[in-house]
Structure 1
């Protein structure tokens, strides 16, 4: 990592503010968690998020595979020193000049979006794990150098945390995804739990569906625990934000349970009051670790 140059960030403030606005609009939990970072680290996280959101929207919102390929070409140009004249790239140029960023992870994330563009339901748990790496574990590697000067020692924990968050997304959005013709839960696990398409088409989740949901949630919770093991090697200034992001995302699973697993008909959202409670838990956990 090079020495942080505040002037470089401030010169590009407008570009970073656009990235921050994209983050806040798309993911309140993510924005809230990382807003606790020192400003220039937070801006760096938001720039990475803007890249991820751009790629994700090209496929999930616009179904624009050609647009994704254009983004890939821009990334290739960017990594060879040619910065496209767009706020996101201008912000990322500052980030790459400041931190020891993992270029390969950015390309892996785009590969994950290609998998979504030509979606097929995973057949096994291993296939789902592979998918989770490309769309989310890669994101963990993308932001890790911003959070830790010892990031090369904790890559696997960062991948695990990203995968935990993606599994949480899948469990949160399972009904919405089904309506769009996508089932991310593996065929082998559906068969093992006796779950059929009919279980996705009811208002009240069946016992079979709940068992499958909980089995997947257990994997996510194990990944969250592995992700938390990297905290000692996360920079002191970044530790509260990473814990906040982890606790807030993990809370989605708890809220879904409290709402009777109503994920087939609604998206689980953490109310602002509950978010505040979770952030207090983070502060207590930090004090216990001190």
Structure 2
């Protein structure tokens, strides 16, 4: 691997290290080549996500996502934009049997945030989660399940949905205050008589806990279903995958332990706990 490409991958590694310590902690345990590929894919997703979240003006957001679409279109034709991300990603596509479709779906998911509407049903929410996070799982399949005799796209998609539901349950207050977004389904809120005003007030009453737990239980079911299929993934990838699922699932318990405070506090799994889980995963 030549010096420029090493620098490009190092750039991607710095991005994931900065923006997601838990993902980095898990996927850094992959063999070097696979870890680099995951870092490049994460950087693409971060690039897409930042294009929506880092701008207040919807015209700017649209302009940024259109720019990435154009760059991805160039990429699909073998015309590589001269940047660390695209050069690293081109190398990933040379090394693995990659599918471009989930990358387009990721951008479609970001488009949903630009044209944001609160989901009416849990199914609508899961559909959104499939675009913004299930797509990431499907991007990773050629890397972490390269030897598999089974099609694991559904399992990877389900893990992405579970992780995105976890993000939503962690960031209820932040999403509302910073982006004026409510991802909790309208139908589910109505069922327990929990209102937009309640979210604005940061109410953690029994109605909120019922609503929160319904979504959390759904995420936990998806985590469990995914982990039951773990043996079908590449042997050298199973510990990092297990760890990433466990860490994200652990965020739900962290929120419970903090009296469901996801309005004023960003809940996370502490590093000593992650290290303990890593030791357990490597001894299985």
TM over 0.5: yes
Q: State which of 120, 127, 130 in structure 2 corresponds to 1:133.
A: 130
Q: State which of 42, 48, 54 in structure 1 corresponds to 2:47.
A: 54
Q: Is the 8 A contact 2:204 2:261 kept in 1?
A: yes
Matched, 1:74 2:71: yes
> Following superposition of structure 1 onto structure 2, how do residues 1-290 of structure 1 map, counting pairs within 5 Å?
7=1, 12-63=5-56, 64-149=61-146, 150=148, 153-179=151-177, 180-203=179-202, 205-284=204-283, 287=284
- Per mean C-alpha deviation after superposition, the further-off stretch among 54-63 and 192-201 is 192-201
- State the partner residue of 1:4: none
Between the aligned partners of 1:165 and 1:127, the Cα distance in structure 2 is: 16
Q: Is the 8 A contact 1:145 1:151 kept in 2?
A: no
Normalised by the length of structure 1, the TM-score is: 0.92
**Deviation above 6 Å: which 4+ runs of structure 1?**
none
Listed as ranges, the gaps of 5+ residues in structure 1 are 1-6
CA drift at 1:277: 2.4
CA drift at 1:127: 0.7
**Cα distance change of structure 1 residues 80 and 152 upon mapping to structure 2, 3 Å threshold:** farther
CA deviations on 1:182-232 (whole Å, 9 max, x unpaired) are 110110000011111232234551110011000000010011112213311
- Per mean C-alpha deviation after superposition, the further-off stretch among 270-279 and 80-89 is 270-279
Between the aligned partners of 1:212 and 1:85, the Cα distance in structure 2 is: 46
Q: CA RMSD in A?
A: 1.4
Between the aligned partners of 2:114 and 2:108, the Cα distance in structure 1 is: 10
CA deviations on 1:57-89 (whole Å, 9 max, x unpaired) are 010112522111111111011011111101000
Q: Is the 8 A contact 1:102 1:142 kept in 2?
A: yes
3-state SS, counterpart of residue 262 of structure 1: coil
| Count of aligned pairs | 278
Normalised by the length of structure 2, the TM-score is: 0.94
Q: Is the 8 A contact 2:159 2:223 kept in 1?
A: yes
CA deviations on 1:11-42 (whole Å, 9 max, x unpaired) are 61100000000001000000110000011100
